[in-house]
Chain A
Amino acid sequence: ETGVTQSPTHLIKTRGQQVTLRCSSQSGHNTVSWYQQALGQGPQFIFQYYREEENGRGNFPPRFSGLQFPNYSSELNVNALELDDSALYLCASSLPEQTEAFFGQGTRLTVV
């Protein structure tokens, strides 16, 4: 039990649609990162939020965007969904001064 919960656990969307994935972190975890894990691959860093501001972005287009809220929850938004966006999306949070991040169980997104 990592204290990081994601919703929904599974989601099916149609190409071109928009999706919002949610993550709830433990109290005090002021850093949240989002990762995309395609089948057979390791998680790929999408972006990170630190104290509600974006703090680094991986190699993902602008249609991937996010928000972090004061209550330690966060969102990942993906616009104009493409078939290749089908993946497991993982949220990870960490405490200040802590190296290891704690992952949620992920949201499995399928784009058809």
Chain B
Amino acid sequence: DQQVKQNSPSLSVQEGRISILNCDYTNSMFDYFLWYKKYPAEGPTFLISISSIKDKNEDGRFTVFLNKSAKHLSLHIVPSQPGDSAVYFCAASVGASGTYKYIFGTGTRLKVLA
């Protein structure tokens, strides 16, 4: 039972354009959502998060949107850069502060073409 789904295994985008990565979830009890980026031979690196009480969070080129009624979130990267090429994981969590446990999606491999 996949509670967090990333239905697009891969995405290619031209440099300078917008990248949109999508994530769906099934458990309405999730209270925090995060995006991680992973390069080969490295651990996941935290990008941005959003609380379930918000619908948007922005950090530089990265914006995460949350649609609770649709149980859907998306990560927008504008403008996309070749260094953004990596695997992006969506994660959802539930738990008391400091003891969050994550459920990850299967990842989307983003390739930004120069």
Binding site for B on A (CB under 8 A): 2, 4, 6, 30-31, 33, 35, 40-45, 48, 50, 55-56, 58, 90, 92, 94-106
List the A side residues contacting B42 at CB < 8 Å: 105-106
A103-B100 in contact given A42-B89, A43-B89 (Cβ < 8 Å): no
- B residues bordering A, Cβ < 8 Å? 4, 6, 32, 34, 36, 41-46, 49, 89, 91, 93, 95, 97-107
Task: Considering the complex, give the chain B residue whose CB is closest to the CB of A104.
Answer: B43
Q: Contact at A31–B102, with CB atoms within 8 Å? A: no
* A99 and B43 within 8 A (CB): no
Contact residue among B44, B97, B102, B105 (Cβ-Cβ distance under 8 Å from A45)? B102
A94 touches which one: B44, B100, B106 (CB < 8 A)? B100
Enumerate chain B residues within 8 angstroms of A103, measured Cβ to Cβ. Answer: 36, 43-45
Whether B97 and A102, one on each chain, are in contact in the complex, defined by CB atoms closer than 8 angstroms, is: no
Q: How many A-B residue pairs have CB under 8 A?
A: 76
Partner of B106, one of A35, A42, A102: A42
Q: How far is the CB of A87 from chain B (nearest CB, A)?
A: 13
Q: Say yes or no: A98-B98 contact (C-beta < 8 A), given A42-B104, A42-B105, A45-B103.
A: yes
Is chain A's binding surface mostly helix, strand, loop or mixed?
loop
A90-B106 contact, Cβ under 8 Å, with A33-B101, A43-B89, A99-B93: no
Known: A42-B104, A105-B43. 5 other contacts (CB 8 A): A45-B101, A92-B102, A96-B97, A98-B97, A100-B49
**Which residue of B is nearest A1, CB measured?**
B45
Given A42-B107, A103-B44, A106-B43, check contact A96 B101 (CB 8 Å): no
